Amino acid sequence: MNATDLLQSLTRPAAMQPLGAPDPHGPIVPAPVQLEPVNDTLSPADAQLDLDQIVTSLRTVRLSWREASGRSREPAGRELPSPDTVAHIMDDLCGVLFPMRLGPPELRPQEEDIYVRRTLGQTLQFLQGQVRLELAHDARLLDDEQRNRGELPELARQVVNNLARSLPVIRSLLDSDVAAAFHGQPSARNVDEILLCCPGVRAMIHHRVAHRLHRLGARLLARMVADLAHSRTGIDIHPGATIGAGCFIDHGNGVVIGEGVRIGRQVRIHQAVTLDAGDSPRQPGSTTLLAYPTVGDDVVLHAGATVLGGVSIGQGARIGGNVWLTDDVPAGALVSQATLRQGPARP
């Protein structure tokens, strides 16, 4: 098995545990743990806190969960990426992509290339270490003997190098996102204000990087980058979602975009919009994605719109606020609560 085959075996959806498939270790149902009952009464100020007892009880619960979930065999050290490190990596990548706006405040134009080269070199090294941790974790869960053959550092290097080569394309896509946000937000005085103050743009920076990591197989790291954007902006975009150039997420809080969603070019999404798979459960053993919405070019989704399942929205359609949509929408149609009461949308 060569390095490419190993990377695919570790990262393709079929290799990971699909939703609804039987857990090879059985269901995670920890055995009951006998612990001291919680006393809600306040202790006297001079009462001694028994830290040893708390540590022992925490260890008991922890080991019970590991045993029940088939994870009693832990590695010698931490074998998962660090959220703090991922946050630092993304902050540095933001600076690399937009040095004079998101880089250090003391940076001068004549020093841009020096800063980008130095920061990118250091950041890619940190990222390679995080990718290696993810691959090692996946390989251990799969009991993959290739893990001990020195393959994983090379696989991590390939992932990071491919991401680095994608950065110019990512920057170009982000330029289109910034331009769309500026044209769609009349209150903004210039594109610098958009880049520094618009949560939708910050979410798209993270998504463009996360989506590339997802495509390269570093799916845990991609989810961590997406979660970082969610915590910072209130915008929840799964890294598997495909979003075309010039996407503008206005205000953004409460926006949810699911894994299999496909969004065309120059789409505008307002706050609290949901694009997701709905409630259809994945069939046991299936590795295929559920049905997700497809949004055509130049579509506008107003605040609170909910689009679920394999809905197709045609080019130039406008979806009104607080609409619950589960049927296809033709190109150029206007869908509102009133039109939904009258029947299917028409162009």
Read off φ and ψ for residue 275, nearest 5 degrees. Answer: -125, 105
**What's the domain range around 280?**
254-347
How many residues make up the chain in this entry?
A: 347
- Main-chain dihedrals φ then ψ at residue 25, nearest 5 degrees: -95, 0
Name which of 48, 155, 171 is nearest 120 in CA terms: 171
Q: Which two tokens stand for residue 198?
A: 């618009």
Q: Domains in the chain: how many in total?
A: 2
61 inside domain: no
Based on the domain organization, do 221 and 260 belong to the same domain? Answer: no
- For the whole model, what pTM was predicted? 0.82
Give the burial class of 66: count Cβ atoms within 10 A of its Cβ; 0-12 exposed, 13-18 middle, 19 or more buried.
middle
Q: Are residue 273 and residue 154 in the same domain, yes or no?
A: no
**CATH code of the domain in which 299 resides:** 2.160.10.10
Digit-coded pLDDT (tens) for 239-251: 999 999 999 999 9
221 in the same domain as 339: no
**pLDDT given at position 21:** 40
- Do 215 and 119 fall into the same domain? yes
162-189 confidence digits (pLDDT tens)? 999 999 999 999 999 999 999 999 899 9
Of the three residues 235, 267, 301, the one that is the final residue of a domain is 235
Mean pLDDT value across residues 265-274: 98
Residues 171 and 214: their CA atoms lie apart, in Å, by: 17
CB 156 within 8 A of CB 135: yes
* Counts of helices then strands in the chain (DSSP H, E): 10, 14
pLDDT in tens, 79-135: 799 999 999 999 999 999 999 999 999 999 999 999 999 999 999 999 999 999 999
For 176, the token pair is 């289109």
* pLDDT value at residue 314: 97
Confidence of residue 67 (pLDDT cuts 50, 70, 90): confident
Is 218 found in the same domain as 95?
yes
Query: Does 186 lie in the same domain as 103?
Result: yes
Element (H, E) at 209: helix 199-216
